[in-house]
Chain A
Amino acid sequence: MVGQVLFILVAAITLLMALGAVVAKNLFHAALFLVGVFFGIAVLFILLDAEFLGVAQIVIYIGAIATLIVFAIMLSKNVMGKEAGAYNRNWYAAMAGAVFLFLLLAWLLLKAPFQMVSADVPADAITQIGQGLVGTYVVPFEVASVLLLVALVGAIMLARER
């Protein structure tokens, strides 16, 4: 009961924040809403017994990605002309499409039969994640690390002034 209330609370706030993030005309506000969304999702992760991911979500999304976005917004200040709106010409079609997508996906997901398994999360979940990353999933892990390196180099190459 408490869990449900908590979920509804968090989910509602998160969704409102998400709406704010896509609706806000001021980009900086949008970014702050985005931070709120990330925080809400971190809470949801913790509700789902994934503490590690919850905290990692805060470190990576708020600590790195959102800060980066805010930084970029600050660098490109006053980029938006005052006269230009936040949306492009197709926004109503996009809205319809998004609503349609939501309904369709929701319908499909609710229709799908899932085999529920109720079990407790292993006590050494973090250990298992770590071992999985350097064991079963070592190749994707290495690929991801190379991807990050390449992204780093690529970002520097793109952003440097010639």
Chain B
Amino acid sequence: MHDYPFVFNLTWLIPLPTALAFFAIILFTNPKKRLSSNVAIAAVVVAWILSWAVAFAFFLKPELVEEPINIAVPWLPIADGYFSMGVAVDAVTAGMLFMVGFVLTMIFIYSSGYMTFPGHLDPEQFPEVAKEGLDPRYSRFFAYISLFATGMLGLVVADNLLMLFIFWEIMGLCSYLLIGFWFEKTYPDPNQITPKQAGLKAFLTTRVGDVLFMMGLIFLFIHAGTLNFQAIFKDAHFLEELATSTVTLPIFGAVSWAALISILIFWGAIGKSAQFPLHVWLPDAMEGPTPVSALIHAATMVSAGVYLIVRMAPLFAASSHAATGALPFVAFIGAFTALFAATIGVAQKDIKKVLAYSTISQLGYMFAALGIGAWVAAIIHLLVHAFFKALLFLGSGSVIHGVEHGHHHVHEHGHGHDDEHGHEEYFDPQDMFNMGGLLKRMPITGWTFIAGALSLAAFPFITAGFWSKDEILAHAWDGGHMAVYWALAIGAFLTAFYTFRQVFLTFFGEPRTEAAAHAPESVRAMTWPLVALAFFAIFGGFVAVPKEFPIFGKIASDFMLHLMEMQGEIYPFLEVEPAKFNWTPALISMVLALSGIVLAWLVYGWKPLKAGQPDPLKRWLGPVYTVLEKKYYFDELYHLIAVRPTLWLASFFARFDRGVIDRIVNWVGAFGRWLAAALRKWFDERFIDGVVNIVGMATTWTGAAVRLIQTGQVQTYLLILLLSVAVLLLLIPLR
């Protein structure tokens, strides 16, 4: 082992505090809600400090990229030697630790303010809990997110694919638990998905990807004999062999092992990162509490998919080295999803659904970047996106919280004219058309949200999102991937449009409901994480500005870009050439982004919507709008091709079971009864009973004989013991 600073010995401790917090909360502090949240926050702060200690130790010593730190212990004896488990730190891990530690902490703190008594529960039903003002399952929530944080941190520091998979599945479990956190919640509209169903949907959908991922993992292990990242990916010879040896599949024909494993693993990422065609779970996952949306569906879990592909990039690159390989597939899925999700985002009414689709879309950007070889750009976008998307989600949560509070406020004080109908009529606090003019009511939330929105819309020069997205587009242009470029560029335009549609609908104009008019600013535990995140959403990009970029290249730093490039260079096959700067794509994307913002202002900002007024887009786009609003009918399609046949098959088997199997079983049973009756009469009553009686009598006789020595006195027993031992000792010489 080479020398490394002592602080890296702490790496394995990073996932530990939150895991301990999970057990502590579940086992001990569960009844004390505030204590539970404090335990969880303390744990995540420790994890954050450890993460940053490790991350900065790495940033301060960039030469470590040559020989990433790997500390492992033999864990599981396998055929020849041990399967080692351990932690590894390279530049990618360090970057992820930097982001994950911070974002997790912000979300934890935010949650402690957010998880108040939920709106869907009747306070009169739980007077005790409602008086306390906290969610009835407040402690449990913090236990879950602690476990989730363990999963994410463990995944980031894992040094092998199996350990990564284990933590990956822990996160899957947590996402199921957290999405369905308010499992008792129902809606008046039976077609609207409930949290319970949404959790199930997310779990089952990602399972499709995970099974394929595990197949890929097993194939990789069969070929490599190890799953350690460094061991596999630094071995150029092995990768070459994997890329050239082929396997013949039923439909696809001959493909290289590398391509097959890559694509199987990529399916895992598709499921986790909600890429087309497994994207359907993510929008519905918005049923969970908003911090969960931020935690799982923006900053951390979905980016785990991207992280996985970043980790496995040498394998992907190797697969495309000789033949077509896996990269074009990745690029296609990414670019398609980026554009596809952006179009859906345009027509959503729910403030969180818009963000959900934008997440899908942005993840598509990252996959597209990975597909076209822009490895570094993908990592940078991954990190930057996490900051501003977490910010946006937390901001939207703050908005929803405010509107909900406003709603309650109106009801309690009874100065709304629809007071009598208030209880029957369902009020959706997440519908943007119920909002408006919130910037005045919630200034901190509003301004930080706008900062995040600017970053997401890639507002030129001053936002982090611009630099990371520009890098991807520059790569696409530079590498000659025109289809990808245009898909992403149009996606960028749409992103800017729907983002600012959201901003204008929510924060500008006049309040469209009483609830919005009375929305209060959120508590400090919720606002200051927003401020902290906004800082990174704006300025986080200035460590990744290309040197050649005019003006900004001189004044900002390209530290992160450079570090990741150096990291990428140690792997064979992976090309990490920085894109050459070109004015054409940069100007095009800038113009598109700005025009998206302007268009949004024209439609929603210039003449703010009045209460009850429909979306003007609906008028102009007509049926297309409906298609978009219904998300291209993907849910219905899946229902038709997957859920319905399954249900039909199940009912068919149920009928078959009742009609055929049950009859056979009944007949066998009847025969058995007849046989048993016959046997009992002729065999049991005569023979068996006789034997049993003899045994019983024998026991009685023996007992009567033996009870003589059971005096109840220890000394007698000892005497018998002595005699027995003496007999045994006598046997020794006789042997």
Does A97 lie at the interface of the complex (its beta carbon under 8 Å from any beta carbon of B)? yes
Partner of B715, one of A94, A105, A108, A111: A94
Scan B249-281; emit 1 where CB is below 8 A from any A CB, else 0: 000000000000000000000000000000000
Scan A58-73; emit 1 where CB is below 8 A from any B CB, else 0: 0000000000000000
Whether the pair B732, A108 counts as a contact (CB closer than 8 A) is yes
Scan B117-161; emit 1 where CB is below 8 A from any A CB, else 0: 000000000000000000000000000000000000000000000
Q: Which of B713-735 contact A (CB under 8 A)?
A: 713, 715-716, 719, 722-723, 726, 729-730, 732-733
Partner of A97, one of B722, B729, B730: B722
For A100, the chain B residues whose CB sits under 8 A away are 726
Task: Give bound CA distance, A104 to B722, whole Å.
Answer: 12
Does A101 lie at the interface of the complex (its beta carbon under 8 Å from any beta carbon of B)? yes
Whether the pair A97, B713 counts as a contact (CB closer than 8 A) is no
Partner of B730, one of A90, A93, A104, A111: A104
B728 → chain A closest CB, angstroms: 10
For A90, the chain B residues whose CB sits under 8 A away are 715-716, 719
For B722, the chain A residues whose CB sits under 8 A away are 97, 101
For A108, the chain B residues whose CB sits under 8 A away are 729, 732-733
Does A136 lie at the interface of the complex (its beta carbon under 8 Å from any beta carbon of B)? no
Whether the pair B719, A97 counts as a contact (CB closer than 8 A) is yes
Scan A67-89; emit 1 where CB is below 8 A from any B CB, else 0: 00000000000000000000010
Task: Give bound CA distance, A111 to B732, whole Å.
Answer: 12
Whether the pair B726, A97 counts as a contact (CB closer than 8 A) is yes
Task: Give bound CA distance, A97 to B719, whole Å.
Answer: 7
Residue of A nearest to B723 (CB): A97
Q: Which of B684-735 contact A (CB under 8 A)?
A: 713, 715-716, 719, 722-723, 726, 729-730, 732-733
Interface size on A, residues (CB 8 A): 11
Task: Give bound CA distance, A105 to B730, whole Å.
Answer: 10
For B732, the chain A residues whose CB sits under 8 A away are 108
For B715, the chain A residues whose CB sits under 8 A away are 88, 90, 94
For A97, the chain B residues whose CB sits under 8 A away are 719, 722-723, 726
Whether the pair B723, A88 counts as a contact (CB closer than 8 A) is no
Interface size on B, residues (CB 8 A): 11
B130 → chain A closest CB, angstroms: 49
Partner of B726, one of A88, A94, A104: A104
Residue of A nearest to B732 (CB): A108
B715 → chain A closest CB, angstroms: 6
Task: Give bound CA distance, A105 to B719, whole Å.
Answer: 16
Scan A6-31; emit 1 where CB is below 8 A from any B CB, else 0: 00000000000000000000000000
A19 → chain B closest CB, angstroms: 19
Whether the pair B713, A88 counts as a contact (CB closer than 8 A) is yes
Residue of A nearest to B713 (CB): A88
Partner of A111, one of B716, B719, B723, B733: B733
For A94, the chain B residues whose CB sits under 8 A away are 715, 719
Task: Give bound CA distance, A108 to B719, whole Å.
Answer: 20
Q: Which of A104-129 contact B (CB under 8 A)?
A: 104-105, 108, 111
For A104, the chain B residues whose CB sits under 8 A away are 726, 729-730
A6 → chain B closest CB, angstroms: 32
Scan B291-325; emit 1 where CB is below 8 A from any A CB, else 0: 00000000000000000000000000000000000
A145 → chain B closest CB, angstroms: 29
Task: Give bound CA distance, A54 to B693, whole Å.
Answer: 64
Task: Give bound CA distance, A100 to B730, whole Å.
Answer: 11
Task: Give bound CA distance, A137 to B729, whole Å.
Answer: 31
A91 → chain B closest CB, angstroms: 9
Task: Give bound CA distance, A101 to B722, whole Å.
Answer: 8
For B729, the chain A residues whose CB sits under 8 A away are 104-105, 108
Residue of B nearest to A103 (CB): B726
Residue of A nearest to B721 (CB): A97
For B713, the chain A residues whose CB sits under 8 A away are 88
A126 → chain B closest CB, angstroms: 37
For B730, the chain A residues whose CB sits under 8 A away are 104
For B726, the chain A residues whose CB sits under 8 A away are 97, 100-101, 104
Task: Give bound CA distance, A69 to B160, whole Å.
Answer: 66
Task: Give bound CA distance, A112 to B139, whole Å.
Answer: 70
B122 → chain A closest CB, angstroms: 53
For B723, the chain A residues whose CB sits under 8 A away are 97
A101 → chain B closest CB, angstroms: 6
Residue of A nearest to B722 (CB): A97
Residue of A nearest to B716 (CB): A90
Task: Give bound CA distance, A49 to B733, whole Å.
Answer: 34
A87 → chain B closest CB, angstroms: 10
Task: Give bound CA distance, A45 to B715, whole Å.
Answer: 31
Task: Give bound CA distance, A97 to B716, whole Å.
Answer: 12
Residue of B nearest to A88 (CB): B715
Task: Give bound CA distance, A29 to B729, whole Å.
Answer: 35
Residue of B nearest to A107 (CB): B733
A141 → chain B closest CB, angstroms: 30
Task: Give bound CA distance, A111 to B716, whole Å.
Answer: 30
Task: Give bound CA distance, A94 to B715, whole Å.
Answer: 9
A158 → chain B closest CB, angstroms: 18
For B733, the chain A residues whose CB sits under 8 A away are 108, 111
Task: Give bound CA distance, A93 to B711, whole Å.
Answer: 15
Task: Give bound CA distance, A94 to B719, whole Å.
Answer: 7
Task: Give bound CA distance, A108 to B716, whole Å.
Answer: 25
Task: Give bound CA distance, A27 to B309, whole Å.
Answer: 86
Task: Give bound CA distance, A28 to B723, whole Å.
Answer: 31
Task: Give bound CA distance, A100 to B719, whole Å.
Answer: 12
Q: Which of B445-483 contact A (CB under 8 A)?
A: none
B50 → chain A closest CB, angstroms: 35
B47 → chain A closest CB, angstroms: 36
Contacts from B to A (Cβ < 8 Å)? 713, 715-716, 719, 722-723, 726, 729-730, 732-733
- Sampled A-B contacts (23; CB under 8 Å): A88-B713, A88-B715, A90-B715, A90-B716, A90-B719, A93-B719, A94-B715, A94-B719, A97-B719, A97-B722, A97-B723, A97-B726, A100-B726, A101-B722, A101-B726, A104-B726, A104-B729, A104-B730, A105-B729, A108-B729, A108-B732, A108-B733, A111-B733
* 4 closest Cβ pairs, A-B complex: A97-B722, A104-B729, A97-B719, A104-B726
Further pairs besides A88-B715, A93-B719, A101-B726: 13, Cβ < 8 Å: A90-B715, A90-B716, A90-B719, A94-B719, A97-B722, A101-B722, A104-B726, A104-B729, A104-B730, A108-B729, A108-B732, A108-B733, A111-B733
